[in-house]
Structure 1
Amino acid sequence: MRDNPLGRGTLRVSELAFGAAGIGNLFIPVTDAQAEQAVSAAWESGVRYFDTAPHYGLGLSERRLGAALRGLPRDEYVLSTKVGRLLRPRKEATGDDLANGFAVPAAHERVWDFTADGVRGSLEASLERLGLDRIDLVYVHDPDDHAEQALTQAYPELERMRAEGTVGAIGVGMNQAGLLARFVRETDIDAVLLAGRYSLLDQRGLDELLPLAAERGVGVVVGGVFNSGLLADPRPGATFDYATASDALVSRALEIKAGCERHDVPLRAAALRFPFGHPAVVSVLVGVRSAAEAEDAAAMLRTPVPAALWDDLKERGLLPAGVPTPEETG
């Protein structure tokens, strides 16, 4: 599997990234063994970039990912986690965390914290859960409602830690493009993780963020290329951005799927390949919860997608005429 430089630094990331929310019991439980098998299958498929966060399963994702990676050569993969939510033990751990999307006991509560102390405390706790010697890339996670604190406290602290060598690179991860563009303009971050805003159905990242990232040498990791399910299996009742998709969106997704079928390309393969049309995009992150899903994602990314498919979608108005496609950027 190809790898690409992450921004201006020395890190290189595989084209396909392993998103570890699934092994943190996102929506449904998975076992420790299934989580380990998912990581192992991704590794065998060539994946060398793994992403997690304290938020995912109240630390379960970090613990499972760290355990699965521990026996692998540390210098051969890139590991990212996130800061912004501290995990505090509850006095009485009752119920589950499904209100936040994770099928785990509600043994901790999340506390938003983008202060300098919060950043250092979060990373110390993450390293303990991971059981690894270092974190290569740290994302400021979902600072939507905390932009000023993230810009004036969290980012400067991470910049100090990068200068110390405590962390290798700094990023910001969100499901909106506007604030990410502000971080690119006003800071010296290495990467952004853009979720759900550069896909076959939603190209809002192209308005400002992606051109700005390319200009500033910031690497873009694209998540949510299936838009939480609609582009993986378009049908009535499918989800788009974690809510039931409208009839109009379902119809559009089905039209894109039909276009892919005319060129003998699975829709999932086109969805995974599409973001690489823009030169700022270095990796596509896919949530994985099983070995079968890891193997499928790698197989889909390796599936050839002819230029004629993109031309067909543009001619039918299913992609904007000016959107860059992989063949156009080489």
Structure 2
Amino acid sequence: MKRARLADGLDVTAIGLGTAPLGGLFSAVSEADAEATIERAWSLGVRFFDTAPLYGFGLAERRLGSFLRQQKRDSFAISTKVGRLLRPATASGEDDHYKGAPALRPQFDFSYDGVMRSVEESLTRLGLDRVDVLLVHDPDDHYDAAVSGAFRALMRLRDDGTVKAIGSGMNQSEMLARFAEAVPLDCFLLAGRYTLLDQGALTALFPICRAKNIGILLGGIYNSGILANPHTGAKFNYEDADAALVSRALELDALCRKHGTELKAAAVQFCMAHPAVTVAVQGARTAAEVSDNIAMAELPVPQAFWQELRGRKLVDANAPLPGGA
């Protein structure tokens, strides 16, 4: 699989496996299916894996680690996140998003000491002695604490060689752009803000990242599912999509069908065409979904599709398209 440079001394595969679904996002996943999903990704050449304490409240980290610690440590790269500590739940019932997760709940903590505890707890769940990338996770309402506490801890870990790359993972681009100007970072995980439906990162964030050589791990390529299967009730940004978004997704799907291709293929290849994007991080809950995700990156999408997409102004006029359409 094609590889790309994410940071000094860190080359990663251009497609990565995101593990939120393996933590039971929206529906529970069995241990057997989780293991088969990771094994399929590995067999198809994926060597970059993204996880977080939030995903299934530790379940995704544990499942990913049980597979990766059987592999040679230098044969893969892994990212996890800080900013949430998992503590016993104070109330019964499942989280709205994660099904089949343990009785733990995340507590925000972007302090220096909280980040150090988070890293140690993640390593314990993973069963690994190190991770390659650490990302400050969703500090939307905690900018100052992230800069003064979390990033200070991450810079120390990078400086002493404990990790190779540091950054932040968010569902918005505006704060990432602020971080890029304030802190010397290596990469961002941006979820859902550069897709066929949302090019919010195009104007501000991507030019800064290009200028500062900050890599982009792009998640949420299907916008939580609507670009994989557009229909009433489809998810966008983890919630039910409104009627206008469903209508736009259906219009994109119809255009793909007109040109004999798949909406998922167009969605992935649109994202990967931007030079700021280093890795397409795609979640999967079954081995079949992994195979499909990787196939979509290679499925032919006619130039006529991209030309009509541009001509009908269905994406930002400044968004680069495959083949220079």
Equivalence for 2:218: 222
Alignment partner, residue 20 of structure 1: 19
Query: Secondary structure of the equivalent of 1:110?
Result: strand
CA distance in 2: counterparts of 1:2 and 1:89, whole angstroms: 41
Percent of counterpart pairs with the same letter?
48
Unaligned runs of 5+ in 1: none
Q: Where do 5+ consecutive residues of structure 2 fail to align?
A: none
CA shift for structure 1 position 95: 2.9
- How far off its partner does 1:321 sit? 2.3
Task: Give SS of 2:260's match.
Answer: coil
Give yes or no for contact 1:34–1:291 (8 Å, CA) kept in 2. yes
**Partners in 2 of 1:179 and 1:27 — Cα distance?**
27
Q: 1:175 aligns with which of 171, 176, 179?
A: 171
Q: Which residue of 2 aligns with 1:4?
A: 4
Q: Which residue in the other structure is 1:123 paired with?
A: 119
Q: Which amino acid aligns with 1:225?
A: I
Cα deviation for residue 106 of structure 1 reads 5.3
CA distance in structure 2 between the partners assigned to 1:319 and 1:109 by the alignment: 38
The answer on whether the counterparts of 2:173 and 2:190 sit within 8 Å (CA) in structure 1 is yes
SS in 2 for 1:205: coil
RMSD: 1.5
Name the counterpart of 1:288.
Answer: 284
CA distance in 2, matches of 1:78, 1:167: 11
Asked if the contact 1:96/1:106 (under 8 Å) is kept, the reply is no
TM-score (norm 1): 0.95
Q: Distance in 1 between matches of 2:244 and 2:183?
A: 39
Residue identity in the other structure for 1:68: F
The reply on whether 1:97 has 2:94 as its aligned counterpart is: yes
Distance 1:148 1:105 in 2: 31
Paired position in structure 2 for 1:194: 190
Preserved CA contact (<8 Å) 2:59 2:101 = no
**Cα distance, 1:137–1:258 mapped onto 2, change above 3 Å:** same
- The alignment of Structure 1 onto Structure 2 pairs a total of residues equal to 325
Q: CA deviation at 1:57?
A: 0.9
How far residue 105 of structure 1 moved from its aligned partner, in angstroms, is 4.9
Which residue number corresponds to residue 318 of structure 1? 314
How far apart are residue 14 of structure 1 and its match? Answer: 1.3
Tell me the secondary structure at the aligned position of residue 109 of structure 1. strand
Q: Return the alpha-carbon distance in structure 2 between the equivalents of residues 26 and 239 of structure 1.
A: 12
2: CA distance between counterparts of 1:306 and 1:74?
40
Find the aligned partners of 1:87 and 1:249 in 2 and give their Cα distance.
34
8 Å CA contact 1:96–1:105 kept in 2: the answer is no
Q: CA deviation at 1:323?
A: 1.4
Question: Pairwise mapping of residues 7-156 of structure 1 onto structure 2 (< 5 A)?
Answer: 8-90=7-89, 95-99=92-96, 101-105=97-101, 107-156=103-152
* Structure-1 separation of matches of 2:159 and 2:94: 37
Amino acid at match of 2:38: V
* Counterpart mapping for 1:260-275 below 5 A: 260-275=256-271
In the alignment, is the contact (CA less than 8 A) between 1:96 and 1:103 conserved in 2? no
